[in-house]
Amino acid sequence: MVRPQAVTILDTTLRDGLQIEKTIVPTDTKVALAERLIAAGLRQIEVGSFVNPKKVPQMADTDDLLRRLQPHEDDGVEFFTLVFNRKGAERAAAAGAKNIKLVLSASEGHSRANSDAPIAQATERLLAAADYARDHGIRFDITTAVSFICPFDGITPADRLVEVLRPFVEAGAHGIGIADTIGNANPSLVRTNTSAVLAAFPDHPLGLHLHDTYNFGMANVIAALDLGVASFDSAMGGLGGCPFAPGAAGNIGTDDLVHLLHREGVATGVDVEALAEVRGPLVAAVGHELGSSLSQIPAVPAALAGASR
């Protein structure tokens, strides 16, 4: 495979980055953070999820947040929200969503912890959401959680991953996402499972959602990049984690990801200096320091910053 010359970054700060934070971030603050990310050049942003607010209170304002950010769609910005059932799809449609991500666990143990249902039942729920989205002109992607390793069931076999994805591809999914939910995958496993999905569904855009529990995140980016993957999820400062996956740490940092890709000569469309301006307001919003590598150092030497887009 040939490495892509340019990569699309879906920033998940407002959803995955904030969903396990103890401090509820006000909607006004989320809007301001989103606008800083947009100003830095990010054109795909995950703003929230349509889930039970009692289980994930940080996402209770997703409807309002999406509506307030929609004027930026005129500038080519795409906003995404997560949906786990038909009710969530209905809420997304009511809020004017144009893009949703359906999320299904690739293991039985995580499926029961994350959706209170086995994979077969969760698949039925999500296919109903897919039908609703398609009938209402909403683009939907399918993302599988624990696509490499599950905290309950261990390594996820590549053939299982493909079969979990297949019904949604057949139902009309636009893109596919595979997630290292607990950040425990290594490059060899990323290559194995990612290659299987690419071979099974060659006509569907594939993106990786990586966490960085054991500092394998950037090595896994390189492994996927060498397979031709041209889309990655990340959260500013390495925030985030799954509340239903024991041991899950933060996402790979958007700042670290952009820095790596630029050093590798891969374009992102993101201005690293403008992106750095997001850190201060984000720290103020969550009330603690960030975990990305770049957030730990005063500044990257200008010769190495890769500031060009």
Cα 154–chain centre separation: 22
- Report how far residue 146's alpha carbon sits from residue 33's, in angstroms, rounded to the nearest whole number: 28
- Report how far residue 12's alpha carbon sits from residue 32's, in angstroms, rounded to the nearest whole number: 15
Instruction: Enter the tokens of residue 219.
Output: 């090595």
Q: What confidence tens digit (pLDDT) does each residue in 61-84 have?
A: 999 999 999 999 999 999 999 999
Q: Which residues of the chain have pLDDT under 70?
A: 243-248, 298-309
Q: What is the pLDDT of residue 296?
A: 87
- For residue 155, CA distances in Å to 108, 109, 215, 285, 293 come to 12, 12, 18, 36, 28
Q: 3-class SS at 251? A: strand
Name the β-bridge partners of 85: none
Enzyme catalytic residues: 242
B/e letters for 198-208, b = 16+ CB within 10 Å, e = fewer, are bebbeebebbb
Query: Angle, to 10 degrees, between the axis of helix 86-94 and the axis of helix 119-135?
Result: 30
Global pTM reads: 0.94
Q: Are 48 and 66 in contact (CB under 8 A)?
A: yes
Domains of the chain: 8-304 (3.20.20.70)
The distance between the two most distant Cα atoms of the chain, rounded to a whole number of Å, is 53
Q: What is the pLDDT of residue 307?
A: 47
Instruction: Enter the tokens of residue 254.
Output: 């958007």
